[in-house]
């Protein structure tokens, strides 16, 4: 894995450097809290019923406050041990858990900027991955997402603190890109880096191109892309294969954890084995 150059005082750094940066300290604290967090019996019963219970696959088990997003039983079942999370679970977690928490943090602090969480279909459309034309499939296409800014708080993506892009790579692997606006940094997080076949660089460059096009649309001026840093997956990124070399299914959980930690301004340096993940 490549290592980010020019690491600043408050950026994610490998734990081996022993630099107790604010983000690193917060990350270690959050990791400890999650490891020692347990559900009570009532909560365990609800979770078990949702994940392992019986019922029609189309049964809606939970929905967002506005009813726009739903989680069906068949999606919940992908939370079983050894299963691969589908788009419905990942997108619901980012939109209805992390985004709502981000809204509350903003409401409780006038100094807290908002973050935005796109769903996985954004990157899919940005790269035209469903195009039936083999010559166009997988190529950058801003027109497919030119109106998605309307989903962003204030309709201004450049006013966000961070922007999250979950990516369903080749429809069989989850990764994450985060844009750190004030730092002008775009970083790629991949929990199974050995699977990467150049997608990381492709997605980093594509997101930068999207920001450039969005800047042109909003401000009618060019964005100085030379000021931005593209950071590939770094050597300290937690890997799902650390405790089990055959673990090819927990990438969705790791992508959600990356987003969870970073949205709380924590370095994503957690060390969870499969037992902890399953819990």
Q: For 12-61, what is each residue's pLDDT tens digit? A: 444 444 445 899 999 999 999 998 888 899 999 999 999 999 999 999 99
pLDDT score for 92: 95
d(CA 205, CA 228): 11
d(CA 80, CA 86): 12
Question: Could you give the percent of the chain with pLDDT greater than 70?
Answer: 93
The stretch 214-239 carries a mean pLDDT of 95
Residues pairing with 63 in the sheet: 70
Q: Is the pLDDT of residue 169 over 50?
A: yes
Average pLDDT over all residues of the chain: 90
pLDDT score for 66: 81
Q: Residue ranges of the alpha helices (H) in 173-220?
A: 199-219
Q: CA-CA distances (angstroms) from residue 120 to 146, 199, 264?
A: 16, 15, 20
Nearest in space to 232 (alpha carbons), one of 259, 193, 274, 278:
193
Q: Is the pLDDT of residue 6 over 70?
A: no
The stretch 193-206 carries a mean pLDDT of 88
The stretch 164-186 carries a mean pLDDT of 96
The stretch 228-248 carries a mean pLDDT of 93
């Amino acid at each position: 894995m490549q290592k980010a150059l020019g690491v600043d005082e408050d950026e994610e750094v490998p734990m081996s450097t022993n630099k107790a940066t604010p983000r690193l300290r917060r990350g270690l604290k959050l990791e400890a809290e999650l490891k020692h967090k347990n559900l009570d019996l009532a909560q365990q019963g609800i979770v078990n019923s949702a994940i392992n219970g019986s019922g029609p696959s189309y049964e809606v088990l939970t929905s967002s406050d506005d009813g726009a997003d739903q989680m069906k039983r068949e999606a919940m079942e992908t939370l079983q041990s050894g299963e691969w999370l589908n788009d419905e679970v990942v997108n619901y977690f980012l939109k209805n858990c992390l985004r709502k928490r981000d809204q509350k943090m903003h409401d409780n602090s006038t100094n807290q900027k908002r973050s935005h969480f796109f769903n996985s279909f954004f990157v899919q459309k940005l790269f035209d991955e469903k195009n039936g034309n083999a010559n166009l499939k997988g190529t950058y296409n801003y027109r497919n997402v030119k109106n998605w800014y309307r989903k962003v708080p204030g309709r201004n993506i450049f006013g966000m603190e961070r922007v999250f892009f979950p990516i369903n790579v080749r429809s069989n692997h989850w990764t994450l890109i985060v844009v750190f606006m004030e730092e002008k940094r775009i970083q790629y997080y991949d929990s199974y880096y050995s699977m990467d076949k150049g997608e990381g660089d492709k997605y980093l460059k594509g997101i930068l191109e999207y920001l450039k096009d969005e800047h042109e649309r909003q401000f009618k001026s060019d964005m100085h892309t030379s000021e931005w840093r593209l950071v590939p997956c770094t050597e300290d990124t937690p890997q799902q294969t650390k405790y089990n070399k055959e673990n090819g299914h927990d990438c969705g959980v790791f992508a959600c954890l990356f987003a969870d930690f970073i949205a709380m301004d924590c370095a994503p340096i957690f060390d969870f084995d499969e037992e902890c993940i399953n819990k």
